[in-house]
A and B are shown apart, each in its own frame.
Chain A
């Protein structure tokens, strides 16, 4: 009897699923359109209805193209679900299931159990926004992690309920203005702090939990690939600017995300089994005002000669400094993994190569 070869079996399974018969010799090869001939998997296709410059659409595209094609997705209610699947069309090129706002974790758990029962190896992803993850779906997420399902949960964090009209969530940063935390005479935007979800998720003692940003796609995709290779629950939170809700120019999505990382307000950390194992060092730490000044949701903090604005700016700066100190983010000596080296390009791409 032939030796057991799990890789070969897997390849055969994929061939059965996605393969095509070879053409007879001399037959004309099918002419591929430039779109079809692109050297990457298109998990989230064009024609979706996201706003111009949507950070979440970008993040979902980046995740799916390096996780796919052998995945299936459970997607919580939110922008991502709405703009990708306007009936009767879908932008997804992988099996995809819509869950309620609160139960993406539970649906993904069930999909994973079903695949296991069928003896399939297909990885299950769960997608949710910050509302569906930090707030409404939190309990289902916690259960999924605790039951140790083999699921990668990706939270697209745009820091408010954008789909329903920019209401505050527990992920909205302190002092940001939303429709339910408006800046005015009484308050300077949201009164409370952004929930540290990553720490809570990591407290489940899962194999891998990490934060990524759309401004560092190579780093983001490395984290996705790493998580895909783990048998067990993994979690990724991706900072995804929302031009509509954050009120910045649609061309500045990446610049805003980059400054968010470079000022220390959104630290890119990786946590394995509850311990911080890696951080992206910041080559040159920027003041938080560099980040705030691009966004309309913080414009009330930029009023000159306003004591309340000054206090809130100082507060946000202190929060960023706290992150920098807690995670040791200051990377004054150049490092191949720091904010500068991670984004540098040369002729033909990133010097280290985008695998």
Chain B
């Protein structure tokens, strides 16, 4: 029987002989795969746009595999990351940014439930072995990326368990231990990773030995030493230092008793401690921070460095926050604290052009307290590192983390230039990538050569309004030391949230260019074209009107000469 061809083709119109492409005076459309703002701002190096694309296709496992290209611990970061990706999200210009952390967390949990495994093959038995000091997020991430790149990794960890700060200092209300254990166990089960516990640098192993026996050394010891704290030299006799106190609490659930507590600092440790003390029964907990609360009045560089939802929950729980304030003087009876004098201050630009904190005379107040807990930050413990430490940290000389010695890298909090779990994970990725390039003698792949994309480069007419998912949260009265406060959003909500992604700078395959070209010069293909889209520009007929670029929702098409 005769086959009826698709569309029952008529014979081609002979106007195809007339190449209208030569009317084009200047610019022609090109596909530009820009970096979405979420990906550009992710300290862990994830491409959120890419994994949301997989979720939009309904492929959750594919999305998770896309996540773990950069970040092996999404169930952890989905819970503890301050999510700069959401702050950067272009969708804010339309309604509200995507709930990226909630979806990442759901993906991470789903991977644990379903037992998904990393798409990684075992490194060769004779592959070079890299020594990694510290099994915190930076060290674990580095080990994972070593295996991904075909290297073996030997981790040396001083503590009896892997996890670093994730295990030692993040309360269960933010990061349940079963989640942490599951992600770490999956990572450590990878072939090619050996974990040496209770192996302290300087006591059980030395840096020289590590350098001698391994292809490279990645130092991710974290910051274990509290910075010295005193107010004009005065230190109370019962001083509890923030991180130590939090570690003790996380370890065996004990907190000192006090009625009125002041926590001095402006980070997540300070905030976790405030909430733990309040829950333990302190009547009044006050955070004294030199930085400001987020708001239109506050300079973005001077905002309190706390995960936004943690701040919100702390306020719900009745934590009092004195922002733009510092402790001027401790009022001691004998050597016990009975009160503090606080004073307002601001970060102001001085005559030398640099920002200084300036206290304002006449704003002093005295607050009666029983306990003052400093949480002003930590630095690298010098044991075994000696001469590498420069003013408290291992300050690397390039973004990959290289120190002055050959093939020795610094990762994570110990670098002193950033302090989030996500950044530590990203350090692992960047250091291993640089190391592999060095071992292979190739130049390091240029990082971030893709252009960015702002909301005005999108065409927002093509996106309908859609509300951001709200994660369930425990009522204030129901919050305990053990149960997680923010809940799971579930599969349906995660998939629905993924549909909100604008796909900034990457093809949605929405057919707009194909539909709107008056000249039939956009050709749809079944196969993916080389640039990753389903469309080709037939420049023989493109007159260069620019309609496709104007009507591309995602800004993937640009007119260039």
B-binding residues in A (CB < 8 A)? 11, 14-22, 34-42, 44-55, 57-58, 61-62, 68-70, 84, 86, 88-94, 214, 217, 243, 249-255, 258, 334, 340-341, 343-350, 354
Q: How many angstroms from the CA of A17 to the CA of B5 in the assembled complex? A: 11
> Which residue, A54, A57, A254, has most C-beta atoms of chain B within 10 A?
A254
Within 8 Å by CB of A20, from B5, B11, B23, B462, lies B5
Could you pull out 14 A-B pairs where Cβ atoms are within 8 angstroms?
A39-B6, A47-B16, A47-B20, A48-B20, A58-B517, A61-B518, A89-B13, A91-B13, A251-B545, A253-B518, A255-B551, A343-B462, A345-B463, A348-B508
B231 within 8 A of A: no
B10-44 at interface with A (beta carbon < 8 Å): 10-20, 23
A-binding residues in B (CB < 8 A)? 1-20, 23, 53, 56-57, 461-465, 499, 503, 508-512, 515-521, 523-526, 536, 538, 540-541, 543-547, 549-551, 553, 559
Residue pair B463, A34 in contact (C-beta under 8 Å):
no
Residue pair A35, B523 in contact (C-beta under 8 Å):
yes
Within 8 Å by CB of A252, from B7, B461, B526, B550, lies B550
Identify the closest chain A residue to B540 (Cβ).
A46
Residue pair A69, B9 in contact (C-beta under 8 Å):
yes
Identify the closest chain A residue to B506 (Cβ).
A347
Q: Which residues of A contact B14 (CB under 8 A)?
A: 88-90
Residue pair A46, B516 in contact (C-beta under 8 Å):
no
Q: What is the minimal beta-carbon distance from B394 to any residue of chain A, in angstroms?
A: 44
> Which residue, A14, A17, A48, A55, has most C-beta atoms of chain B within 10 A?
A48
Residue pair A46, B519 in contact (C-beta under 8 Å):
yes
Identify the closest chain B residue to A19 (Cβ).
B2
> Which residue, B15, B461, B503, B510, has most C-beta atoms of chain A within 10 A?
B15
| Apart from A20-B5, A345-B553: 9 A-B pairs, beta carbons within 8 A | A35-B538, A42-B13, A53-B543, A53-B545, A55-B518, A254-B550, A343-B462, A347-B503, A349-B511
Residue pair A45, B16 in contact (C-beta under 8 Å):
yes
Q: How many angstroms from the CA of A14 to the CA of B526 in the assembled complex? A: 26
Q: Which residues of B contact A55 (CB under 8 A)?
A: 518
Q: How many angstroms from the CA of A164 to the CA of B178 in the assembled complex? A: 77
Q: What is the minimal beta-carbon distance from A50 to any residue of chain B, in angstroms?
A: 6
Q: What is the minimal beta-carbon distance from B545 to any residue of chain A, in angstroms?
A: 4
Q: How many angstroms from the CA of A15 to the CA of B2 in the assembled complex? A: 6
> Which residue, B12, B19, B465, has most C-beta atoms of chain A within 10 A?
B12
Within 8 Å by CB of B526, from A37, A40, A345, lies A37
> Which residue, A69, A254, A346, has most C-beta atoms of chain B within 10 A?
A346
Q: Which residues of B contact A45 (CB under 8 A)?
A: 12-13, 15-16, 520
Residue pair B7, A44 in contact (C-beta under 8 Å):
no
Q: How many angstroms from the CA of A249 to the CA of B549 in the assembled complex? A: 13
Q: Which residues of A contact B526 (CB under 8 A)?
A: 37, 39
Identify the closest chain B residue to A54 (Cβ).
B518
Identify the closest chain A residue to B516 (Cβ).
A254
Q: How many angstroms from the CA of A40 to the CA of B524 in the assembled complex? A: 9
Q: Which residues of A contact B57 (CB under 8 A)?
A: 347-348
Residue pair B546, A53 in contact (C-beta under 8 Å):
yes
Residue pair A46, B520 in contact (C-beta under 8 Å):
yes
Q: What is the minimal beta-carbon distance from A89 to any residue of chain B, in angstroms?
A: 4
Q: Which residues of A contact B465 (CB under 8 A)?
A: 334, 340
Known: A34-B536, A89-B17, A90-B15. A345 touches B523 (CB 8 A): no
Residue pair B9, A50 in contact (C-beta under 8 Å):
no
Q: How many angstroms from the CA of A252 to the CA of B545 in the assembled complex? A: 9
Q: Which residues of A contact B4 (CB under 8 A)?
A: 11, 14-15, 18-19
Q: Which residues of B contact A16 (CB under 8 A)?
A: 2
Residue pair B510, A93 in contact (C-beta under 8 Å):
no
Residue pair B8, A345 in contact (C-beta under 8 Å):
no
Residue pair A49, B519 in contact (C-beta under 8 Å):
no
Q: What is the minimal beta-carbon distance from A8 to any residue of chain B, in angstroms?
A: 12
Q: How many angstroms from the CA of A141 to the CA of B86 in the assembled complex? A: 58
Known: A254-B516, A347-B57. A46 touches B16 (CB 8 A): yes
Q: How many angstroms from the CA of A224 to the CA of B121 in the assembled complex? A: 55
Known: A55-B518, A350-B510. A22 touches B545 (CB 8 A): no
Within 8 Å by CB of A344, from B464, B541, B544, lies B464
Residue pair A38, B515 in contact (C-beta under 8 Å):
no
Q: How many angstroms from the CA of A55 to the CA of B547 in the assembled complex? A: 10
Q: How many angstroms from the CA of A257 to the CA of B172 in the assembled complex? A: 56
Within 8 Å by CB of A345, from B17, B510, B521, lies B510
Q: Which residues of B contact A57 (CB under 8 A)?
A: 518-519
Q: What is the minimal beta-carbon distance from B494 to any residue of chain A, in angstroms?
A: 16
Known: A41-B7, A347-B57. A47 touches B543 (CB 8 A): no
Q: How many angstroms from the CA of A21 to the CA of B536 in the assembled complex? A: 31
Q: What is the minimal beta-carbon distance from A30 to any residue of chain B, in angstroms?
A: 11
Q: Which residues of B contact A349 (CB under 8 A)?
A: 509-511
Q: Which residues of B contact A345 (CB under 8 A)?
A: 462-463, 508, 510-512, 553
Q: Which residues of B contact A50 (CB under 8 A)?
A: 518-519
Q: Which residues of B contact A49 (CB under 8 A)?
A: 18, 20
Identify the closest chain B residue to A217 (Cβ).
B515
Residue pair A40, B510 in contact (C-beta under 8 Å):
no
Q: What is the minimal beta-carbon distance from B284 to any residue of chain A, in angstroms?
A: 47
Within 8 Å by CB of A44, from B8, B520, B523, B540, lies B520
Identify the closest chain A residue to B9 (Cβ).
A18
Residue pair B8, A14 in contact (C-beta under 8 Å):
yes
Q: What is the minimal beta-carbon distance from B439 to any residue of chain A, in angstroms?
A: 39
Residue pair A346, B56 in contact (C-beta under 8 Å):
yes
Q: Which residues of B contact A62 (CB under 8 A)?
A: 515
Identify the closest chain B residue to A45 (Cβ).
B13
Known: A52-B544, A250-B545. A354 touches B511 (CB 8 A): yes
Q: Which residues of B contact A14 (CB under 8 A)?
A: 4, 8
Residue pair A254, B551 in contact (C-beta under 8 Å):
yes
Identify the closest chain A residue to B536 (Cβ).
A34
Residue pair A93, B538 in contact (C-beta under 8 Å):
no
Q: How many angstroms from the CA of A169 to the CA of B115 in the assembled complex? A: 70
Q: How many angstroms from the CA of A15 to the CA of B523 in the assembled complex? A: 27
Identify the closest chain B residue to A254 (Cβ).
B551
Q: Which residues of B contact A54 (CB under 8 A)?
A: 518
Within 8 Å by CB of B547, from A21, A46, A253, A341, lies A253
Q: How many angstroms from the CA of A344 to the CA of B459 in the assembled complex? A: 11
Identify the closest chain B residue to A55 (Cβ).
B518
Known: A69-B10, A93-B12, A346-B56. A38 touches B524 (CB 8 A): yes
Q: Which residues of B contact A343 (CB under 8 A)?
A: 461-462
Q: Which residues of A contact B3 (CB under 8 A)?
A: 15, 19-22
Q: Which residues of B contact A258 (CB under 8 A)?
A: 461
Q: Which residues of A contact B545 (CB under 8 A)?
A: 52-53, 243, 250-251, 253
Q: What is the minimal beta-carbon distance from B100 to any residue of chain A, in angstroms?
A: 17
Identify the closest chain A residue to B13 (Cβ).
A45
Q: How many angstroms from the CA of A94 to the CA of B9 in the assembled complex? A: 9
Q: Which residues of B contact A346 (CB under 8 A)?
A: 56, 499, 508, 510
Residue pair A46, B17 in contact (C-beta under 8 Å):
no
Identify the closest chain A residue to B534 (Cβ).
A348
Q: How many angstroms from the CA of A92 to the CA of B14 in the assembled complex? A: 8
